[in-house]
Chain A
Amino acid sequence: MKFGVIVFPGSNCDIDCCHAVKDVLGREVEYVWHDAEELDDFDCIILPGGFSYGDYLRCGAVARFSRIMEAVRAHAAGGKPVIGICNGFQILTEAGLLPGALVRNKNLKFICDTVPLRVEANDTPFTGLYEKGEIINIPIAHGEGNYVVDEATLKKMKEKGQIIFTYVDNPNGSMENIAGVCNEEKNVLGMMPHPERACEEILGNTDGRRLFESIISALEGRLKDE
C-alpha cells in the first residue's frame, strides 16, 4: 500500500502529510512533483494544504491545470481514494472533481484554530472508523474556507450523503456549516480542516488519526478483495 502526496509549487503541508502517513502510521509514502504524468504506483493520493502558485488568482485556480491533475482525475475515476486537504480541497473543487467552491471567510481574515467537527457520514473510505454523529476536534488554517454551492447541487449532495464533515460552531460562514464533502462515488474527499495536524499526543490531539487509519483499513479490505 502506498500513499502519494502531490507537491505543487507553494504546497506547505506536504511534509506534514508525509510525516503522518510514514512516521505516525508506518505506511509507505512518496512525494509526487506536480509535472509528473502518472500515479499508477499509488493507492491513495493526498493533495496537501498550502498556497499553490501563491493562490494569487483564486485558490487552486492555477494548480488545477498542472500536468499531474490528469493523473489525479484518472486515479479518482478508477475508484481509488483521493483526499484534498485545505488547499487540496480548493484545487479539487476548481478541477471539478468535487462540487461547490471555497470563498473568503466571512470575517475576511485568516483563521487558525482547533474546532469541533461533526462526522456526518461514516460510509466512506475516509471515515469508516468514526461513529456517525461523533464530534472530533481538528485544526483549521485558512483564509478561504467558506464553502458555497448552488441550491440544486446541495439538495442532490444531501440526498446522496456527500456531506461528510460539518462545523459545530461555524467559523468561516460555510453554507450548512459544511467542512468536508465527497463526490457521489465517495472516493474523493475534500475538507478544509487538517487531520494531519491531529495525529500525535505530543501535539495535544489525535482525533485526525482515525481518518488515515480509515483509509488504510479501507485499502486493506480492497487489496484483499483484489
Chain B
Amino acid sequence: MRQLPVAKAEPPRRTYPTDTAVDFVVVGSGVAGASVARELTRNGFDVVLLEQGRNVGPDDMEHDELGAFAWPRWTNDPALSPQMYRKSASEKATQQQFVQYARAVGGTTLHFTGNFWRFRPIDFNERSVRGGVPGAALEDWPITYEELEPYYAAVEYAVGVSGAVNDDPREPMRSKPYPLPPVNVTGPGVLLEVGAKKLGWSSKAAPMAILSREYKGRQPCHNCGFCLAFPCEWGAKSGANWTMVPEALASGRCELRPDSYVRKIETDDTGRVTGVIYFDSQKREIVQKAKAVVVCANGAETPRLLLMSKSNRFPEGLANSSGMLGKHLMFNGGTTSSGEFEHEIHAHKGPVVTRITQEHYELDTSLGLIGGGGFDFRVSVPGLMRTLSMPSDGPMWGSAFKQRMRPWFLNSLEAFGHTTSLPVSTNTIDLDPELKDAWGLPALRVTFREHEHDMRLYKYFTARGHELLVASGAKKVTDNPVNDTPGGAVHLLGTARMGNDPKNSVIDRYHRAHDVKNLFIVDGSSFVTSGRGQPTMTIQALAFRAADHIAEFARTGEI
C-alpha cells in the first residue's frame, strides 16, 4: 500500500534569515501561491513560501472517509479556525463552518476534483455584452481572454492537463493542443454522452488536471477512486503539492515553511510593506522581512489577513482605501440531481469526472438569465458519504434499507451543474467582532445571501440536469432542492477584485494593490466575476501572468 513510487514535496533546500529582507514572501502555498513562487524563482528571485497548514506527505494520505469528511484531517478545522455566518448585516451571526478549503501545502488542490476548465471571452466582458443586473456589482475584468490565453497554455503544459480539442465553434481560441490525451472514459462519462446525444447537446472530454499518461516523471491515474476530498497517493492529480511546490523548491531559491500562520502584514511610515508576522508550529511569533509580499491565501483568508493588517496609516485594513476588500464574495452555483440506472456503473472508480457538456455555457437572452455553466455526471464520494446521501423516500434502516444500499452505490450517479454566481456587494468576508480562533485572532465572518437571479439560474440548471438524466436512461431521478442555506462552500472568489479604478477595486490589472506598491494579491479573491463553475485553472493562469509582471517590475526597479 505504501510502496507507491512517488516523492513528496521536498524539504527546504535553502533557508533564509528572517531579519534580512528576502525578495518575496508569498503567503499561501495553494495553486496561486505555489505557482507564483515557482515562477518567481525561475526568474531568479528568492522566495519564502509560508503555509498555515502542514505538509501532507504520502504517509499521511489515506482512503479515510471519516478523516476527509467527519473531521478535518486535511481541511480547515472548525475547532481551531471557527467561522461565523449570517445572511445579512442586520442579522446576528452564528457559529457555522460556511467556507471550506484545504489547510495544507498545496492548498485545496491537495484534494480537488481536477476540473480544469478555461474561462471563455464572455467571462471577462459579460457586463458589456449582456448588461448589468440590479442588485449585482457586475463589472468587466480589466483583462481579456486573449491576454490570459498564453498563460492558460503555459499552465496546461506545466502541470499536465488531459483533454481533447474539439471543433465546437463556441470553444475559445487556443494556441496549443492539450499536452495529454483525455483521461479514460468511465460509466458516468458514457451516460452523459448518451443523454447529450439524445438531446442534441454538445459534449466533450473533460479537461482534467489528472494525468492520463506519465508526465514529467509523475505516474498516470490508477483509478483508485478516492479522489475528490482525498490527496492523491500516486501523484497523478496535478495539484500544487505534486507540481508547483516541488518545482519551486527544486530551483534552490525557495524555502517552504509549513505550519506558518501569518497574522499580519507589516508596513512602515511610508506605507510600504516590510514583511510579515506569523505563528510557527509552536505558536511562536516570527517576523520575516521582505522586499515585497504576495498574498495568495484564498478568497476567504486573503481579505481576512488584510483586514487584520490594519494600522494607523491603513485604519480600514491594508489595501482597503476603496472599501471593497472582502466584498463580492462568490462561490459559483452547484446544482444536483441523482439518477438511478438499470445496470451497474461503479462510478466510484476512476477520475470523478471524464466527460462534460457546456451546452448551457451562454444562455439565450429570452431566458432573462445571464451567466451559465456546464454539467458533469459523477459520484463525488466513496461508500459512507454516498450511502448517507440516499434519498429518504424509502426505508432508511432495517432489511429493506439494506436492500437499497448496493444498487444505490453501484447503479446511481449525480448530474452536477456548475454555474455562475453574481458578485453582490453585501456578500462579504470580514472579521467577527467577538469570536477568536485558536491563536486568539478574530474569526472569519461570512455574510452571504444568494442573489434572486442566481436562485432562478440554479432552478434552470436543476431542470436541465434532470432532463439530461432522463435522456441518458435513468429509471428514477431525484432533484436536490435549490436552497440558499448550505455550508461547506468551496470556490472562494471575488473578495479583492481586480480593476482599473482604485475607488472600486482592490488590485490593478497586474495584481498590485492600488494602495501599496510592494504588495500583490493573487488568488480567487482577484476575480471580478465567477465564471461558470470551475475557477482553479483561471486562478493558476492569473498566477502565472501575475508572476510574469511582478518579476518584470522587480527587474526594472518598479517595486
Q: Do A and B bind each other?
A: no
